[in-house]
Amino acid sequence: MRRRAFLQALSVLPSAGAAWGCRREPARKDGRTIATLWFSYGGKNREVLLDLVKRFNESQPSVRVEATFQGDYFEALAKLRTALAAKVAPTFSHVVGEVVPYLAEAQVLEPLDGYEGAEAIAFVPALAQSGAYLRERTGSSRSLVAIPFNRSTPIMYLNGSILEKEGLKAPRTWDELREAARALTRRGEGARWGYEVPISWWFWVAMVGQAGGTLMGDDGDPTLGGEAGEKALAFWQRLVHEDKVMRPPPGRDYNAWQATNQDFLAGKAAITWTSTAFLRYLEENARFPVVAANLPYDVRPAVPTGGTFFTVLRQAPREEKEAAWSFLRWMCGAEQTIEWATRTGYLPVTEPAVQRLRETGYYAKHPNDEIALSQLAHVEPWPWATELFRIQRDVVEPRLERAVFDGTNARSVMSEARAVARARVVRSR
């Protein structure tokens, strides 16, 4: 139901004219311009963000950022669409990368190129808008509408104690992962799964790249990786149904992610794939050494980027948008970028922050963080496609979940998914 409600809420955005017609007056309080921020972080990430917002508010007398939690990523997106239609959207928010093309092409995002200092921010290329999307690398003149902040990649975590006891190393290929999962699985009393991963689009996309495929052709055709997409799904099915060494985590969406993390922390899964964003959480809560490693591959190393970008809503009053920009520019400073990355596990998004962390010896003391950073060399950028998030949520992810659980032939599942995805792309043109 959650997935269906999300898609219904995002099915139509207001036209460009409606989106910013009838402008409201800028919000002010105690002589300050108020910039409203909607965010989706929970737990420790929320704590760190609110600490940074508080410090920014205390650092100057002109702007006050008021941050409000709006549920998980997709609940917040549904609320954002409704607010845009009602012309009561916040000044700025953050959205997952797959949704940025949709919002940008609907012209509801503020172009930020002309804001003071925007062109001078030295973002890490793979994490910035300029490197996160395929069409961005073709020299297009698309406006800057997305500022990277909580950016991540999928990564492999291993239970260091179990690994040492069994005399194994982190697997580098899919074949080695399969062998390690077999060796690490225990049945009966003290049962343990060798491998666990949420059955999620994001990890499947990583495997599509690792098997040599891409999500879309140069002409925008949603190939879903072709044979590589089928191979990725079939690999999971083999581990679940044939080898019986991989546990499909219970629940869907973020419930599956939480279940995977808890199984890993409880020692019920020796190897897991999840986000770099959980690095600090896992390290701080595990009763064993957590070992991070690059994702294993089939024919080539590959990872997608994840997390969200900050976006300023075009319908907001100019004064509020400038206030939001002052906060975003401050957040991109090395000190704030470092605090966010080191306290959460998300990747530092600016080159000065990375350089300072290297110079201070941070990565020497925190090798897991350096592994996460090293994976950026293998980032596969997303296609700039307005239907990408619908293909993710409505077409691919539910079919992956069903196929892994019931073992339906991978080729037929992905063939059906491609047909549905192509029909959606055709309708959107």
Q: What is the pLDDT of residue 413?
A: 97
Does residue 7 have a pLDDT over 60?
Answer: no
Angle at 39 between CA 136 and CA 21, to 5 degrees: 70
DSSP calls for 112-149: -TTSTTGGG--B-GGGSHHHHBTGGGGT--PPP--EEE
Q: What is the pLDDT of residues 256-290, one digit of tens each?
A: 888 999 999 999 999 999 999 999 999 999 999 99
For the entire predicted model, the pTM comes to 0.91
CA 316 to chain centre: 26
Asked whether residue 38 carries a pLDDT value surpassing 90, the answer given is: yes
Band (429; pLDDT cuts 50, 70, 90): confident
Which residues, listed in sequence order, are joined to residue 38 by a DSSP beta bridge? 68, 93
Whether pLDDT at 140 is above 70: no
Q: How far is CA 136 from the centre of its chain?
A: 18
Could you check whether 2-152+305-378 and 154-303+387-428 share the same CATH topology?
A: yes
pLDDT surpassing 70 at residue 137: no
Residue 100 CB contacts under 8 Å (≥ 6 apart), including other chains: 109, 129, 133, 145, 146, 309, 311
Question: What is the arithmetic mean of pLDDT over 142-170?
Answer: 95
pLDDT tens string 305-359: 999 999 999 999 999 999 999 999 999 999 999 999 999 889 999 999 999 999 9
What percent of the chain stands above pLDDT 90? Answer: 81
Alpha helices in 286-385 (DSSP H): 318-331, 334-344, 351-359, 362-365, 367-374
Beta bridge partner(s), residue 290: 159
Please name the residues in contact with 333: beta carbons below 8 A apart, sequence gap of 6 or more: none
Contacts of 424 (CB under 8 A, 6+ apart): 222, 387, 390, 391, 394, 395
Average pLDDT over residues 222-233: 97
Dist. CA 237–CA 406, nearest whole Å:
9
Q: Which of 92-101, 186-195, 293-302, 419-428 is predicted most confidently?
A: 293-302
For residue 8, pLDDT beyond 70: no
Tokens 């922050």 belong to residue? 353
Q: Do residues 382 and 389 make contact, with C-beta atoms less than 8 angstroms apart?
A: no
pLDDT for residue 2 is more than 70: no
- Between 198 and 250, name the one with better pLDDT: 198
Question: Can you tell me the mean pLDDT for 298-306?
Answer: 97
Query: What's the fold here for domain 154-303+387-428?
Result: D-Maltodextrin-Binding Protein; domain 2 (3.40.190)
Is the pLDDT confidence value at 138 over 60?
no
pLDDT of 248 strictly over 90 = no
| pLDDT (mean) for 205-211 | 98
Average pLDDT for residues 182-206, to the nearest whole number?
95
Question: How do beta strands 269-275 and 246-247 pair?
Answer: unpaired
Above 50 in pLDDT, residue 371? yes
Query: Residue 1's pLDDT band (boundaries 50, 70, 90)?
Result: very low
- CATH number among 3.20.20.120, 3.40.190.10, 1.10.10.10, 3.50.50.60, domain 2-152+305-378: 3.40.190.10
Q: What percent of the chain has pLDDT over 70?
A: 92
The answer to whether the CB of 353 falls within 8 A of the CB of 64 is no
Residue 292 has pLDDT above 60, yes or no: yes
pLDDT at 136 over 70: no
pLDDT at 77: 86
CA separation for the pair 162, 50 (Å, rounded): 37
- Produce one character per residue of 364-400: b if its CB has 16 or more CB atoms within 10 Å, e if not: eebebbebbbebbebbbbbbbbbbbbbbbbbbbbbbb
Residue of 91, 174, 105, 167 whose CA lies nearest to 140 = 105
**Residue 31 φ then ψ, to 5°:** 80, 5
DSSP type of residue 241: I
- What is the average pLDDT across 355-373? 96
* Cα Dmax for the chain: 67
More confidently predicted of 248 and 287 = 287
Q: What are the tens digits of pLDDT across the range 110-131?
A: 999 999 999 999 999 999 999 9
Residue 42: predicted pLDDT: 77
Which of 401, 154, 170, 405 has the alpha carbon at shortest distance from 270?
Answer: 170
Distance, in Å, from the CA atom of 112 to the CA atom of 131, rounded to the nearest integer, reads 17
- Mean pLDDT, residues 14-43 taken together: 74
pLDDT of 29 reads 83
The answer, yes or no, to whether residue 11 has pLDDT greater than 70, is no
Provide the pLDDT for residue 3.
45
Q: What is the mean pLDDT of residues 56-85?
A: 92
DSSP line for 270-309: EEEEEEGGGHHHHHHH-SS-EEEEPPPBSSS--B--EEEE
User: Where along the chain do its domains lie?
Assistant: 2-152+305-378, 154-303+387-428
d(C-alpha 264, C-alpha 283), whole Å: 11
Indicate if the pLDDT at residue 408 is higher than 70.
yes
Q: What amino acid is encoded at 366 in this protein? A: H
